[in-house]
Amino acid sequence: MRVIRMDKNGKILIVDDAKSNREILSEILNQYTVIEAKDGYEALEYLKSDSKSVALVLLDLVMPEMDGFEVLKYMNKNHLIEEVPVMIISIDKDDKSIEKAYELGVSGYITRPFSSAVVLKKINNIISHYKRQKKLTAIINKQIYEKYKNNDMMIMILSHIVESRNGESGLHVLHIKKLTKLLLNILVKKTNQYSLTLDDMISIEVASSLHDIGKIAIPEEILNKPSSLTKEEMEVMKSHVIIGAKMLNSLPFYNDEPIVKYGYQICRWHHERYDGNGYPDGLKGEEIPIAAQVVSIVDAYDALTSKRVYKEAYSHEEALKMIQKGKCGVFNPLLIECLMDIESYIQNDLKINEFYEDNEYFEERTQEHLKDEGLNLSNLLYQDLYFEKSKYKFYSELSNNIQFEYSVVPPLLTLSKKDALLLNIEPKIIDPLSNEKVTKLFINNDFNVFIQQAIDLEKEKDKFSMNTKLKINNTIKDVKITVQVIYDGEEVLGILGDIEIL
């Protein structure tokens, strides 16, 4: 084991039994700190002691003592492959060995004789991708931790409430939570007046479920009275806002958490009105926290459209007209505007308890959150998510034909097991443009031309079709192939394809 040079760009561990190969690669990689190992044992000794400092491993597969596959198996067993990217070194293009190496988690390969430009470009790309991926992973881990912490906090809050009295919420709480999320998404799109971050929106959405917790202290004969409440009973009913706020304010835990802060605002002030005629404090206009304003208007809508012991449900249209005319008190005109903007979604989606799942604006907000953390829109996770979403949308528009996907980096053709069986090829094929089995499926040998045509399409013309002849079940068939090209900005991520037998 020896260190060739020190450089701030990171360490690359070259594992090859041939000294000449190590020297050539070291010269190519003169911008990095290069560590040399002559066999797998030396490489693993170094990784055991200092894997976190290694930016990439260049690994020869064929070595005495311990070969490259044994090194990869060890790295998988000890989860090192998740921390350190590995590129394999091959004499020529041995598809079986390369495929086996990919299955063991390698990120790419280089072949001898070495091309300096190609080697350096591949290594720089992989190291850059891994750096972005690590940063993204750290952010997501942080968000997952916060999510679980918030869930745990909600359990603690609800436990505290249950100790006071058992209660049942039904669909109302679910509706309020969903409507709050939707209204907030539209609100931040219309204005930045309230400076709501993504974390604020999530906290308000979760906290909205607590809006009526004070009702657990209201006698059931008042809660469930089928006729009008007396003046005294109405005062008791109104007290639920103070009771709920006090419950949250007296919690022995999480007092400084955003969910508790927003929960307090919502509990206490969701019955305030924009003109000052609400309760309990008679707040007016923007004196009312925006979290309470949002929950106030969605609570009014859901109360109107729900059947209660003392009334029948109003229709969606009637409820909106009543809110616009101030029949339930005066609301923020901007929030009424937001409510009207989303009224078609409300009417359709609340009926099936599925709500705004294709929330493109919320995805944009999530991307902004990632950018704030120093990541651009081409991060690997977002590519995967966007690719999957586009794939689902594209496939759902087509009949149940043979379907495939082709990714550009790494070059990979993927089919279902059923479709692969029809074509007599493997479900996953690395570098399909050079795979004889794939190219021979096309009777006119036009697979490579077809893929290149798709990749070269202008972004505005990202879908096209062609008729050709294809070998299916060992029989030549006339087929129509339709493809959708998937982009991230100007970069082609891959191709989704559908093969229809004519």
pLDDT tens-digit profile of 279-315? 999 999 999 999 999 999 999 999 998 887 778 889 9
* DSSP-assigned letters across all residues of 149-194: HHHHHHHHHHHHHHHH-----THHHHHHHHHHHHHHHHHHHH--TT
- For the chain, give every domain's residue range: 2-128, 165-361, 380-501
CATH of 380-501, one of 3.30.450.20, 3.40.50.720, 3.40.109.10, 3.40.47.10: 3.30.450.20
CATH of 165-361, one of 3.20.20.70, 3.30.200.20, 1.10.3210.10, 3.40.50.170: 1.10.3210.10
Report the DSSP pairing between strands 463-472 and 428-430. unpaired
- The amino acid at 276: G
Q: Tokens at residue 325, please?
A: 């005319």
Q: Tokens at residue 153, please?
A: 């906090």
Q: Tokens at residue 209, please?
A: 């479920």
What single-letter DSSP state applies at residue 480? E
Arch. (CATH architecture) of 2-128: 3-Layer(aba) Sandwich (3.40)
Decide if 482 contacts 460 (C-beta within 8 A). no
Residue 241 exposed, middle or buried by CB count within 10 Å (0-12, 13-18, 19+): buried
* DSSP-assigned letters across all residues of 106-118: --EEEESSPPHHH
Residue 167 exposed, middle or buried by CB count within 10 Å (0-12, 13-18, 19+): middle
Helix axis angle for 171-190 and 290-305, nearest 10°, is: 130
Query: What are φ and ψ of residue 109, in 5° steps?
Result: -150, 155
Decide if 41 contacts 66 (C-beta within 8 A). yes
What single-letter DSSP state applies at residue 66? S
What Cα–Cα distance (Å) separates residue 271 from each residue in 264, 265, 285, 293? 13, 11, 13, 9
Distance CA 350, CA 334 (A): 22
Place of tokens 């390369």: 98
Q: What parts of the chain have a pLDDT lower than 50?
A: 144, 148, 152, 155-156, 159-160, 162-169, 352-367, 369-370, 373, 375-382, 384-385, 393, 396-397
Decide if 207 contacts 257 (C-beta within 8 A). no
